[in-house]
Amino acid sequence: MASARQVLCLCALLCVPRVRCEPIRYSVAEEGESGSVVANVAEDAGLTPAQLSARRARIASPAGRQHFRLERATGRLVLAERLDREEMCGRSLTCTLAFELLLENPLQFFRVEVAVEDVNDHSPVFPEERVTFKILESSDPGLRFPVEAAQDLDVGSNSIQAYTIAPENDYFSVSFKHPRNKFIELVLEKPLDREEQPELLLSLIATDGGSPPRSGTTQIHIVVLDVNDNAPTFTEDVYVGQVLENAPAGSVVLRVEATDPDVGLNGDISYRFSQAVSENQLPFIIDATSGEIRVTKPLDFETTQKYELSVLATDGGGLSGMCNIVVEVMDVNDNAPEVVVSSFSSPLPENTEPGTVVAVFAVRDRDSGVNGEISCALEDQLSFSLRPAYKNYYELVTVSTLDREETAQYLLVITAADTGSPPLTTTQTFTVDISDVNDNAPVFNQTSYTMYVRENNIPGVLVGAVSAVDSDAGSNAKVIYSLRPVHPTEQDPCSCISVNSENGHVFVLRPLDYEQVRQLEVLVGATDAGSPPLSTNVTVRLLVVDENDNAPLVLHPAQDSSPPSSELVPASADVGDLVTKVVAVDADSGQNSWLSFHLLRATDPGLFAVGSQNGEVRLRRPVTERDAVKQKLEVLVRDNGRPPLSATAALSVLLLNGLSQEHLPQQELAVQDEDSSLTIYLIISLVFVSLLFLTSFAAFVACKVCKRKELKGGHVLYGTGNLQSSLAAGAAAGTLPHAYCYEINLTTGSGNSEFKFLKPILPSMPPQHSDTGRGVADTEDFLPIQNSMGDAALDISGTPSVGHFNGLPFN
C-alpha cells in the first residue's frame, strides 16, 4: 500500500517543475553488501534510464558522504558501501538517510529517504564482567540492589527484552521496568543469613528479542555484611544541565547530591560515573566528594547535542544509589558555512548565450537556529549572477555576452555568510576560462606599406615585411599571408612580387628597370586559420629606386655623322661669344641625371671654354692669325651618379681668319680676278652643307620616334657646312630657335675673306632654359655676331636658301 501511495503521489506531482514535494521513501536492511539493489528510483520518479543519462542525473547528499550510487543505465539505486546502522544512527529508533536526486536541463530535484532497518548483529554487553554487592544480613526482603543494565546496540525487538538469574535461587530475583532503562534491580526475596551462607555467586543474563536471540552475562558476587541498612539516596532522579559548546575546560555543568541516614563509615558517600562509558571517553569529570560535574574536553554541538550519564553514590558500607544525568550542549556560532559544488562547467565558449548555467552548488551550516541561516552573494561581477534553485541550492549563470579578447578568465568569488553573532563567512572561487571562437579578423600594424628596391635588383631579394596580428587564440590567431589581385577583374596578382605565407616577408622575384617601371602596387591579404576564416587586405606600394645605369646621350651635335660637322667662327668674334652648344640627356632621374660638361681635349685648349652646367662652347680669347684654321674639340658629358657615367661629343670649328672688314668694299668688277681658292672653298662648303642636311634629317626622324621632350634653343655661330642641318634638327627636337637669315659680302679687292653675321630675319625669342634635373642640358639663345659687310648676302634657314656670291646666285 505504501508503495502504491508513493506512485500516486509521483504521478500527481509530475507536472510540478523542478521540485518533487513528497519524498520517495525506501527501506533497506543494514549490513547489506556494496552494490546491493535498494530500488528502481527511475521507475518511482517517472523517468526512463535514457532521461537519467541525458539529464546527467546524480545523487547530491547534504552530508557530503555518498552511501548510495545511481546506475544511470538501469535507473537502480544501489548501495555504495556496507551500512552500519549503529555507526550512523546510534540507538535512535529510526535511521533515515536523506538525499536529493538531481537532474539538469531543466534542473529538477527528487528527495529520497532510505530507512535503514536494524538486524540483530549485536549481543547484549554488561558494562562490568563482575559486580559485587555487600549486603547486610539484616536486610529485609524486598530490598532492591541496582545493577547497571546491559547495553545492546540493536534497537526495537532486537534490543534487550529480558533478564534472568542463574542458577535459580530463593534469595534474589531480577526486576526491570523497561529494556531501555540504564539500570536493573536485584530484589532480595528472603533474608540473608551470613552464618549459613556468607556469600553468593550468581550469573545475571540479558537476552534480546532477535531471531535467533543473543545474550550477555555478568557475574553477581553477593557478600553478606553486618548491619548497614540504608543506601544513599539522590535528591532527584534525573538531573538536567546545560553548557555552551565553547565552554572552557573546568567549567561546572551541575552538582548532584545524595544522602545516607547512616552514620560513621556507613554514611560517607562517594560519587562516580557509571562504567557503561569509560571516563576517558567522556568530556566530563565528577568530583567524588562534592558531586560537581565539570567539563574536561572541548564540546561540539554539531557532533553531540546531548549527553545521558549515570552517577552512582556509594556509602562506606557498600550501599549505593543511582541517578540519571542529562547534559544539553548549547550551540554557538562556531562553524562557517560550507559550499558543496555539484557541477561546474569550464571553459565556456565566448559565444555562450546569457542564462547559461555555469555551476550548481549547495550551501550548509552545521550550526542551528539563526547560526545556521545562510545567505550567498557574488562579488563585483557584471557577466555572471547567482540564482536560487532549490532549498539551499544555487545556480551560477551568465547574464551577458562574453568576450575572450577582453577577458580570458573570470575569477568568480562566492561568499556564503550565516546570521550568527558575529557572522562567519566562507568563500568559494570558481575559475571560469573562456575558450576562443573566431570572431576577429587579422589586423595589419600599418594601413599601407611602402617598400623600396633598387633597379637591377637580384632576383628573390627581400624588400620588407608585412605584419598582422589576430586577437583570437590558437588556430584562430594563426595568420597566413597571400597576394591578391588589386582589382576584382584581375585574374592573378603581380608575378614579380611574392610574399611568404608564414612571416609576411615580401620578395621581388625578377630584376626591375626604373626606366620601365617606377612603382608597383599589390594587395596582400592576411587570413586566419579559423572556421570560417576571416581575412584583411593591405596595400603594399613598391617604389623602384633609380641607379646610375644609363650614360648621357648627346643630341647635338649629332655624333653619327662622318666626318663631324664644323662650326664657323669669324676672326672678328669677341671673347665670350657663343660658338655652339652641346645638348645631352640622361634617362636616369634625380642626381643620376644631373649632367656636367667638361672640355676633354682640343687643338688649342686655351681658345675655347665649355660651360659646365649648360654645355655652351664660347671663345676664351680673340682669334689670331696664328691659330689653326680647323680646330677639333672633344667635350666630356658626365652625369652625377655613383659611379658616374659619361659620353663624349666631338666638335669641329673652322676659324675664318681670311675675311676682314677692310677688304669688303664693293668691287663687283674684280670678282673674276679673285683668287681661285675662294671658289673651291665655297664649292666644298656647299657639298658639306648638303651632307649635314641629310644627317640632320635622319636625326629629326630618330628624335620623333623617341618622343623626347623639347629642347630649348639658342643663337649659335654656325658655319656654312652644318648650319642648315643643325637648324633642321633643332627645329625638329624643339630645342633650337627659329631659322635665322645671315648675309655674307665678299669683295675681290682684298687678300682675305670675312663673313658678316646679321640679326635674324625673324624676331629672336626670349632665352629659355630646360630643367637640368630632367637630364637635358640647358640650351640658350645664340647671340648673333654682327659686322659691317658688303652687298653680297647668304640666307641660311631651315631649307636651303639662295645666296649671292659676287652677284652670282648659288644654292
Which is nearest to 696 in space by CA: 729, 724, 722, 666? Answer: 729
Same domain, 318 and 360: no
From 68-77, 424-433, 463-472, 541-550, the region with the lowest mean pLDDT: 68-77
Question: Both 537 and 618 in a single domain?
Answer: no
Mean pLDDT of 788-806: 32
How many domains, in total, are found in the chain? 6
Q: Is the pLDDT of residue 395 over 80?
A: yes
- Would you give the DSSP letter of residue 767? P
Q: Is residue 201 part of a domain?
A: yes
Tell me: do 424 and 483 sit in the same domain: no
Q: What is the pLDDT of residue 452?
A: 93
In a domain, 388, yes or no: yes
Find the CATH number of the domain harbouring 579: 2.60.40.60
**Shared-domain flag, residues 539 and 562:** no
Neighbours of 683 (CB within 10 A): 11
Within a domain: 710: no
**Residue 277 confidence (pLDDT):** 62
Strand 566-570 relative to strand 646-656: parallel, antiparallel, unpaired?
A: parallel
Distance (Å, rounded) from C-alpha 697 to C-alpha 797? 14
Give the per-residue pLDDT at 546: 84
| pLDDT category of residue 491 using cuts at 50, 70 and 90 | low
- Are residues 137 and 218 both part of a single domain? yes
Choose the final residue of a domain: 545, 570, 600. 545
Do residues 256 and 293 share a domain?
A: yes
Domain membership of residue 149 (yes or no) is yes
Give me the pLDDT at residue 64, please. 67
Whether 643 is in a domain gets the answer yes
Q: CA-to-CA distance for 175 and 185, rounded, in angstroms? A: 5
Q: Are residues 455 and 530 in the same domain?
A: yes
Domain that holds residue 609: 553-656
pLDDT above 60 (res 3) = no
713 belongs to a structural domain = no
Q: Other C-beta atoms within 10 Å of 457: how many?
A: 17
Residue 181 and residue 149: Cα distance in Å, rounded?
A: 7
CB atoms within 10 A of CB 811: 9
pLDDT range class, residue 710, cuts 50, 70, 90: very low
What band does 775 get if pLDDT is binned at 50, 70 and 90? very low
d(CA 368, CA 121): 34
Query: In sequence order, what DSSP letters do the residues of 716-741 get, joined into one string?
Result: ----TTTHHHHHHHHHHHT-S-S---
- Compute the distance between CA of residue 569 and CA of residue 564 in angstroms, rounded to an integer: 16
Residues 247 and 325 in one domain: yes
Whether 379 is in a domain gets the answer yes
The whole-model pTM stands at 0.43
Kindly state whether residues 464 and 411 are assigned to the same domain.
Answer: no
Could you say which of 225, 248, 280 is where a domain stops? 225
The CA angle 609-611-617, to the nearest 5 degrees, is 50
> 676 lies in a domain?
no
Q: Taking 90 as the threshold, does the pLDDT of residue 154 lie above it?
A: no
For residues 146 and 221, state if they share a domain.
yes
Which residue, 529, 525, 454, is CA-closest to 486? 525
605 with 638, same domain: the answer is yes
pLDDT at 684: 86
Tens digit of each residue's pLDDT (9 = 90 or more) over 33-69: 777 787 888 888 888 888 888 888 888 877 667 778 8
Mapped to the 3 state alphabet, what secondary structure does 200-240 carry?
EEEEEEEEECCCCCCEEEEEEEEEEECCCCCCCEECCCEEE
State the Cα–Cα distance between residues 584 and 596, nearest whole angstrom: 10
Same domain, yes or no: 499 and 569 = no
The last residue of a domain, from among 296, 313, 330: 330
